[in-house]
Structure 1
Amino acid sequence: MSEKGERQVGNDPNTTSMQAYQAFRQARDLLVTHREDYEAARREFAWPEFTEFNWALDWFDRIAAEDHNADRFALWIVEEDGSENRWTFPKLARRSAQVANWLRGLGVRRGDRVILMLGNQVELWETILACIKLGAVIIPASTLLGAADLRDRVERGQARHVVVRDVDTATFAEVPGGYTRIAVGERVDGWESFTDSAAGDPVFTPDGPTRADDPLLLYFTSGTTAKPKLVRHTHVSYPVGHLSTMYWIGLEPGDVHLNISSPGWAKHAWSNVFAPWNAEATVFLYNYGRFDANSLMAQIDRCGVTSFCAPPTVWRMLIQADLSTLRHPPRKVVGAGEPLNPEVIDQVRQAWGVTIRDGFGQTETSVQIANTPGQEVKPGSMGRAVPGFTVVLVDPVTGERAREGEICLDLSSRPAGLMTGYAGDDERTATAFEDGYYHTGDVGAVDDDGYITYVGRTDDVFKSSDYRISPFELESVLLEHEAVAEAAVVPAPDEIRLSVPKAYVVLANGFEPDAATAESILAFARKNLAPYKRIRRLEFADLPKTISGKIRRVELRGKEHTHGDGRPDGEFREEDFPALKNRS
């Protein structure tokens, strides 16, 4: 094996698997050892390099076989009614082998693309591990998606198999294709039943080596163009890349880690799969239907959660409760998705005695910039580049490095935790990787100590709660309504969600800018958009445009910020129309 731990092609599979395990463990252990010594970690850490690597076989199954993990829980799910289940590392290793063998019997082959659309249930983790073992490509999907979104994923994702909850199978009646249909839960006519996987062989033998650069994940993510991007990750870029996420959180063996994120989104894979299991920690889930701060804190106390990650929306709701009721707060707390309000950080510090630490990353990457354990936390800053990442700010006009500019990754020292590109879009991939940098599309400012403060997006995509929203997608739906001639969607400030989608609408001839028209448009949007994309506010107005006729959303965004939390004249809101709640 080379000094960097490269796995040699042609060796005995057991030998190369052990070499891969040892190289990965060496890198992992260094970060755990230096989890509170940023300078040492930056100086000594190097990404392990592989030509072959299968995280489920070479890492997860091997740690599951070690004596110290024999009774350690890999997954712990508590339901809202108080029931709970726990699965050890060995049990999940065995179950995922059964699922892999069963899926192979249904025709799932290396390189096949599998849409995985499940909630926070054990079958999700079993299937993720099984697909990795098989070398199949996972297309994560939120259970909130409608038929149109799923058609796009089947068609552009070239999906050959789908694994979904029984309650969601009806949605696929409107999704044509010759894909294998697998239902989790009750048996459904015309669908294979996941329950039958229990009869699978508990010993899995791969059909060959997994190349490190083989595709593993395809994420559909919002953009400003007509179609969402397909972010392509490999068997290294997320499993190995999330060593950086593990380091940011400060995870170590034996931790019980709670991350609030919905399956189907990249952050779920970050902190509910790869980062905690890289650390040999327990993934903890509290499955609530409606968020309740007191119930959440009660479970954190009862179950001994040591590490907690949540989007700012959840942090803002938590501080509305009495934080002091949590007798044993987690000692590691982080936030990601949006900048955190200093007031939130202060209140949590006063109540729990810990500081929430920001982290910055994307669907396209693992964590790039973060306030890691042991570092000074500067108010408003995201922190510094994490070990293994060389982050620079580039002036978008001159292309030179600058004190304020686009956040970029220097590709002369390419990090493991970076996508290979956008599937089926060579032009967009080339743009993202031009001039020797990976361009994040985000703008930041750096100080003399290397701390980076987030400034904003270079495009129009925005966050609502922890969901990323593309104005183009929402505008396209609005334009299908007969009353809408033109529309522009921008974020409007919101106390809880940080921002909500607001539509500025130009009406077609024959329609009046009144409450009835607003209700009709909002109802139409409610019916045709996933809940997290829903238009919450609407205003009838002319749209500012450039000379070439392009809408100047920057002016509309600025207008919204001048309103602050106030309500402008002529604005209609979803809550103005109680009848909307009774419509599908």
Structure 2
Amino acid sequence: MSEGFGSPVYPGWINVAEVLVDDNVIKGFGDKVAYYQLDLGGNLISNITYSQLKDLTNKFASSLISMGLREGEVVLNIMPDIIENIVAFLGTLKMGGISALINFKLTVDDYVKASRLVRARMIVTDCDHLNMALKVKDEVDSVWKIIVTQLPGKACQGISGNDVLTFDDFLKQGTTNFNSARTHKDDFAFFLFSSGTTGEPKAVLHKHADILYIADTLGKYVLKITDKDLIFSTSKTFFAYGFGYIVAFPLRFGASVLLYPDLIRPELALNVISRYKPTVFASSPVFYRAMALVPNTKEYDLSSIRLASSAGEILTKSVYDLFYEKFGIKIMNCYGSTETLHCFITTQPGRKPGSAGLPVPGYELKIVDPETGVEIKEPNKQGVLWVRGYSVAWMYYRNFEKSVESFCGGWFNTGDIVYRDEDGDFWYVSRADDMIKQGGVWISPYEVENALMQHPAVVEAAVAGYRDEDGLFHAKAFIILKPGYEPSDKLRDEIREFLREKLAHYKVPHYIEFVKELPKTTTGKILRRLLRNY
């Protein structure tokens, strides 16, 4: 493998599912557990070895062919993080199909839109989502078959007719003796959907070799994943960050994974870590803070963790310090996007907490002046971050205008405002479309939020633009208070005075509102667009 952009990286003909699964059996990992399945209570209920994973993905792939699915057609996975979801994803790729992984917490309308967008032919789902999948099939002409798996302790209702098959009955049509499709490294393999902080989610189409690339750069050189690792991620498989830790990294290096099906509570996550001793833990800043605020943290044993990774938004110094104070673990910030499939900037644990970090080997970065389009090379000057590397997607599927705006010559425009300091570390400022103009001066909501998070009464904060009754634009802070604090005008004044000590006077929000919760995507990103003019 060459780390230079544009160099030959992998053989032309490669099926990534075969590499991730079958090659581990060849290496002697056949009897090793690939996935440990947990139930909703965090109890281990089943597992699957690499040899079993090979057999089941072969059966799934051959069953798809038996059902009439052709290479290049799309299978949509509406599933929680269960072993069947992994089998369906890899099996689809093995037979040359395209898998589409989507958030399992969406609405029927969301699934209808997604199915139409990617022209899904089949849906793989679970009992809880079967009724939604049936409605999608009724409304989307391309969908002609549904495969449904039963969740532990739950019986499926509504399985009838030729259009719906149970997972077990579906697999009976296949065989373990299967030769993977002869796919090219640049053949399209799977869709992920952007989290949509700025509006409608976009379908991002990735290639077969993209999975290997993020493993062979970030996974190998930064995370240093090996077959000795046991990985636990609170981020789910449909999220690019979670996908890396649940699929790409472990299967590339013969590691094992703890699979928790749903979104998990902080207390339960701490119990899972204490009980099963993962060596690698992946989560988000919001979740790390929630873990640190759980009562009696000394009761939990996190000593098995050699690497704690954070993504979804920038890990602030206050959250980093809080988690380190409670657990003695230095969190690594991981900065990436759905479009790049994973992180292309990371911090070294303990180095410059609050920064985005340094580039991952195999990726090129540049900061561009948004007005002139000229690259900014001097330090400490803000601009838009662009990234280039083999795993960068080619386009947003069936979205020409946004694709032209975001992708150019192998480069991806992240839409993030950043700067690079004298040491080469990158620092996040804001989303370009989140910047607030107050009193004629631009303000980064992230900078103000970071200052707010240092106040002892604040557990979470978001800042957005607000237009008052006179039509003037101001910054407005939305604050969730820690237990023991009550909203009051006196507390507002105290917070403003605190901010004046941390920020330039013009950056202090004109308005402060205390709230019980903040609107977020399922991956933990604050939806500031919903706060504007709230």
What does 1:467-486 correspond to in 2, within 5 Å? none
- Tell me which residue corresponds to 1:177: 140
Q: Is the CA contact 2:289–2:323 (under 8 Å) kept in the aligned structure 1? A: no
- Equivalent residue letter for 1:177: V
- Tell me which residue corresponds to 2:305: 330
- Tell me which residue corresponds to 2:520: none
User: Does structure 1 residue 280 correspond to structure 2 residue 254?
Assistant: yes
Aligned-residue offset at 1:244: 3.2
Aligned-residue offset at 1:352: 3.8
- Tell me which residue corresponds to 1:91: 52
Which residue among 358, 361, 372 is the counterpart of 1:387? 361
Q: Is the CA contact 1:244–1:368 (under 8 Å) kept in the aligned structure 2? A: no
- Tell me which residue corresponds to 1:534: none
Q: Is the CA contact 1:329–1:352 (under 8 Å) kept in the aligned structure 2? A: no
TM-score of the pair, normalised by structure 1: 0.70
Which residue among 324, 330, 335 is the counterpart of 1:349? 324
- Tell me which residue corresponds to 1:377: 351
Identity rate of aligned residues, in percent?
Answer: 24
> Which has the larger displacement, 248-257 or 438-447?
248-257
Paired with 1:351 and 1:448, the residues of 2 have a C-alpha distance of: 32
Which residue among 453, 457, 460 is the counterpart of 2:431? 457
Aligned-residue offset at 1:181: 1.6
Partner deviation per Cα, 1:81-121 (whole Å, 9 max, x = no partner): 42422211111111111111112212222100111011111
- Tell me which residue corresponds to 1:422: 396
Aligned-residue offset at 1:430: 2.0
Measured on the aligned residues, the alpha-carbon RMSD in Å equals: 3.3
Q: Is the CA contact 1:118–1:263 (under 8 Å) kept in the aligned structure 2? A: no
Paired with 1:571 and 1:283, the residues of 2 have a C-alpha distance of: 41
Aligned-residue offset at 1:434: 3.6
What does 1:76-475 correspond to in 2, within 5 Å? 76-81=36-41, 82-175=43-136, 176-178=139-141, 179=143, 180-185=145-150, 186=156, 188-190=159-161, 191-199=164-172, 200-206=174-180, 208-223=181-196, 227-246=200-219, 247-287=221-261, 291-293=265-267, 295-321=268-294, 322-327=296-301, 328-365=303-340, 366-372=342-348, 377-402=351-376, 403=379, 404-410=382-388, 415-434=389-408, 437-460=411-434
Aligned-residue offset at 1:277: 1.6
Aligned-residue offset at 1:64: 2.0
Aligned-residue offset at 1:382: 1.5
- Equivalent residue letter for 1:440: T
Q: 1:383 to 1:47 in 2, by over 3 A?
A: farther
Paired with 1:271 and 1:318, the residues of 2 have a C-alpha distance of: 20
Paired with 1:230 and 1:296, the residues of 2 have a C-alpha distance of: 30
> Which has the larger displacement, 71-80 or 279-288?
279-288
**Count of residues paired in the alignment:** 452
Q: Is the CA contact 1:163–1:181 (under 8 Å) kept in the aligned structure 2? A: yes
Q: Is the CA contact 1:242–1:417 (under 8 Å) kept in the aligned structure 2? A: no
Look up the SS of the partner of 1:66 in the other structure. helix
- Tell me which residue corresponds to 1:56: 17
Aligned-residue offset at 1:235: 0.8
- Tell me which residue corresponds to 1:9: none
Aligned-residue offset at 1:503: 11
Paired with 2:348 and 2:514, the residues of 1 have a C-alpha distance of: 43
Aligned-residue offset at 1:283: 1.3
Partner deviation per Cα, 1:377-415 (whole Å, 9 max, x = no partner): 1122121101000111111112222232111125xxxx2
Q: 1:382 to 1:124 in 2, by over 3 A?
A: same
Q: 1:234 to 1:319 in 2, by over 3 A?
A: same
- Tell me which residue corresponds to 2:531: none
- Equivalent residue letter for 2:227: P
Aligned-residue offset at 1:496: 5.3
Look up the SS of the partner of 2:213 in the other structure. coil
- Tell me which residue corresponds to 1:75: 35
Q: Is the CA contact 1:249–1:372 (under 8 Å) kept in the aligned structure 2? A: no
> Which has the larger displacement, 393-402 or 119-128?
393-402
Paired with 1:424 and 1:65, the residues of 2 have a C-alpha distance of: 39
Q: 1:47 to 1:442 in 2, by over 3 A?
A: farther
Q: 1:99 to 1:352 in 2, by over 3 A?
A: same
Paired with 1:77 and 1:543, the residues of 2 have a C-alpha distance of: 56
Q: Is the CA contact 1:76–1:284 (under 8 Å) kept in the aligned structure 2? A: yes
Look up the SS of the partner of 1:236 in the other structure. helix
Q: Is the CA contact 1:118–1:124 (under 8 Å) kept in the aligned structure 2? A: yes
Q: 1:226 to 1:377 in 2, by over 3 A?
A: closer
> Which has the larger displacement, 351-360 or 329-338?
351-360
Q: 1:155 to 1:164 in 2, by over 3 A?
A: same
Aligned-residue offset at 1:353: 3.6
Partner deviation per Cα, 1:458-503 (whole Å, 9 max, x = no partner): 12499xxxxxxxxxxxxxxxxxxxxxxxxxxx9xx89556549x99
- Equivalent residue letter for 1:315: Y
Q: Is the CA contact 1:248–1:371 (under 8 Å) kept in the aligned structure 2? A: no
Paired with 1:378 and 1:217, the residues of 2 have a C-alpha distance of: 35
Paired with 1:84 and 1:226, the residues of 2 have a C-alpha distance of: 39
Look up the SS of the partner of 1:162 in the other structure. strand
- Tell me which residue corresponds to 1:466: none
Paired with 2:471 and 2:190, the residues of 1 have a C-alpha distance of: 40
Q: Is the CA contact 1:334–1:358 (under 8 Å) kept in the aligned structure 2? A: yes
Partner deviation per Cα, 1:173-194 (whole Å, 9 max, x = no partner): 4331341122112361241111
Structure 2 gap segments, 5+ residues each: 151-155, 437-448, 482-486, 493-510, 518-534
- Equivalent residue letter for 1:449: D
Look up the SS of the partner of 2:272 in the other structure. helix
Q: 1:542 to 1:213 in 2, by over 3 A?
A: farther
Q: 1:210 to 1:383 in 2, by over 3 A?
A: same
Q: Is the CA contact 1:45–1:388 (under 8 Å) kept in the aligned structure 2? A: no
Paired with 1:312 and 1:416, the residues of 2 have a C-alpha distance of: 28
Paired with 1:73 and 1:280, the residues of 2 have a C-alpha distance of: 9
Aligned-residue offset at 1:43: 9.2
Partner deviation per Cα, 1:221-274 (whole Å, 9 max, x = no partner): 255776432211111223433433414333222100111113432222121111
